[in-house]
Amino acid sequence: MSGGKRRKSLAGTLPTPGGNILQCVVFLRTEPDRVSRTAAQPLQQSAYMNNSSSGAPGRGFPQDEFETRTQAMQRRMRERGVDGILFTTEPAVRYFTGFHTQFWASPTRPWFIVLPAEGKPVAVIPEIGASGMRDTWIDDVRSWPSPRPHDDGVSLLREALSELPRRFGRIGMKLGAQSRIRMPVQDFERLRSGLPGIEFVDVAADFHAQRMVKSRLEIEKIRFICDLVSTAFERLPGYAGVGQRESDIVRRLKQDVLGLGADAVPYVMAGSGPGGYDNIIMGPTDHVIESGDLLIIDTGSVYDGYFCDFDRNWAFGTADDLTRHAHEIVWDATEAGFAAARPGATTSDVWKAMNAVLEAGGSLGNNIGRLGHGLGMELTEQPSNTADDNTMLKPGMVLTLEPGMAFAPERQMVHEENIVITETGADWLTRRAPRQLVVLD
C-alpha cells in the first residue's frame, strides 16, 4: 500500500475455509446497527491475503487490480463524455474500492462512490463504515452520521459532485438494464435539483461491459468455489435417499459446502416430483422424497465475494425412459454450448447451439427466458444467452450454460454448468455431471 497509510495483517480476523464464518454471520444479522470497526474489517480487500497453504485463492486483491479497474472505467468515461460517475450499489462500490462488508444486508443507509475523470474514487458513506473504507486503497472518505432522514448524505454527495471539473456537464449513473439507484427517489430528486446544469446519464452498459471480462484473480476465486461445490454435489449420494425431505437434503448440502471452505451459501433452490419438477426458483420444501421422484438442487455459493451458479439432478428409486432421455438432452445441450463458446462468437451463437439440441430432443418449450448468463460478484450478471443478445465473447468472460426444457406436462429438466472463455475456446469451471441420470436408492 502506498501513501504512508496504515498497514496491518488481517489474517487473524479473516474468515478461513471451514473456519468461523458462521459466528460472523450471526453477529452481523442479529445486531446490524451495532457493527463495530472490528466487525466491518474481516472481509476488507485492501490487504491481499495469500491462502495458498489452504489451497484457496488469496483473499481480496492487490491495489493494482483496483487501479486497473478504475483507469479502464475512466477511459470509458472520456469516450462517453461524462465528468464523473456516481455508484450506489454494493457490487459497484466493492468493484472499485474493495470495501467488502455484509452490512449491505441492512437497507437503512445509502452508500455512494464518486468516480472522477482522473485519480482515485471518492467515498461518501455513513460513519459506521468510514474506518473500514479507510482500510482500502481509498484516501478521500467523507462520512455523515446515518441514518439521518432529513439529509442522509445528500448535501455531502452534492458537494463531492460539485467539485468535479466540469467539462461535459454530465454525470454518469447506472440507470439502465439491471440497475437500481439504492437511495430514496426523493433524495435523488433533491440531489439533481441541487446541481443545476448537470445532466445525469446512463452508463450501465459501460459498467456491465467492463465487468463481463474478469481478471485472472477473479477467475481463480470463481474456479475455486465451482470446484468446491462440485465436490459437495458429488458427495450428496452418500446421504440422500428415499424418505428424506427436500429441506433436510439441502441443509446437509449447505453444511458440506461451508465445511469445504465456502464463505456463504446465499442461494439454494430445490424442486422435486414424480419424474420431474415444475419450477426451478422455489423450494426447498418439506416434500418427502418418494421412489420415482426427480430432484434438482441449484446453488449460488460464495467464496470471497464471488459466486458459482450450477445445478445437479438425481432420480430416486427408479427413473422412466422419458426422464432419462431428457437429462441426456440437456447434458448434450451444454456440450453444444461449450463447443460454440469461443472468442469472436456471440452469446446468441451459444444459445442457438444449445437450443438446436433441445428442439431436436423433443423440447416442449422453455419458460426460463434464457439459456444461461454472466456470473461473478453477483449470482446473475450480464450478458444473457438468448436469441437476440448478441454479446461478443471475449477471453475472461465467465458464463453459465443453462439449457432447460419442458419434456412432459408439468415436468421440466434443467442442467447448468459454469465456464470461462479462454484465448482459444472455453474451459469448464465446474466438474461435469455424468451424462446419464444418477439414480439413488
Instruction: For residues 111 and 98, give the distance between their C-alpha atoms in angstroms, rounded to a whole number.
Output: 14
**How remote is the C-alpha of 60 from its chain's centroid?**
15
> Is 60 exceeded by the pLDDT of residue 438?
yes
Q: Facing residues of 313 across strands? A: 296
DSSP 3-state of 190? helix
> Is 90 exceeded by the pLDDT of residue 70?
yes
Confidence of residue 51 (pLDDT cuts 50, 70, 90): low
pLDDT at residue 330 in the model: 98
Say if strands 122-126 and 141-144 run parallel, antiparallel, or are unpaired. parallel
**How remote is the C-alpha of 415 from its chain's centroid?**
19
- CATH 3.40.350.10, applies to 21-210: yes
Confidence of residue 249 (pLDDT cuts 50, 70, 90): very high
Q: What are the start-end ranges of the H helices in 213-320?
A: 216-235, 246-260
Q: Given phi > 0 = left and psi -120 to 50 = alpha, else beta, which region is 255?
A: alpha
- State the average pLDDT over residues 237-245: 97
- Percent of the chain at pLDDT > 90 equals 85
> Is 60 exceeded by the pLDDT of residue 64?
yes
Q: Cα separations (Å) of 44 from 115, 135, 264, 303, 304?
A: 20, 7, 16, 13, 10
Instruction: For residues 312 and 322, give the distance between their C-alpha atoms in angstroms, rounded to a whole number.
Output: 18
pLDDT at residue 54 in the model: 64
pLDDT at residue 49 in the model: 54
In whole numbers, what is the pLDDT of the chain averaged over residues? 89
Which three three-digit cell numbers place residue 367?
Answer: 419458460
**Torsion of Cα atoms, 161 then 105 then 48 then 396, to 10°:** -80
Sorted by where each begins, the domain ranges of the chain are 21-210, 213-440
- Percent of the chain at pLDDT > 70 equals 88
> Is 50 exceeded by the pLDDT of residue 69?
yes
Of the candidate CATH numbers 3.40.1160.10, 3.30.365.10, 3.90.230.10, 3.90.1110.10, the domain formed by 213-440 belongs to 3.90.230.10
Instruction: For residues 8 and 38, give the distance between their C-alpha atoms in angstroms, rounded to a whole number.
Output: 13
For the chain, the residue count is 441
> Is 70 exceeded by the pLDDT of residue 368?
yes
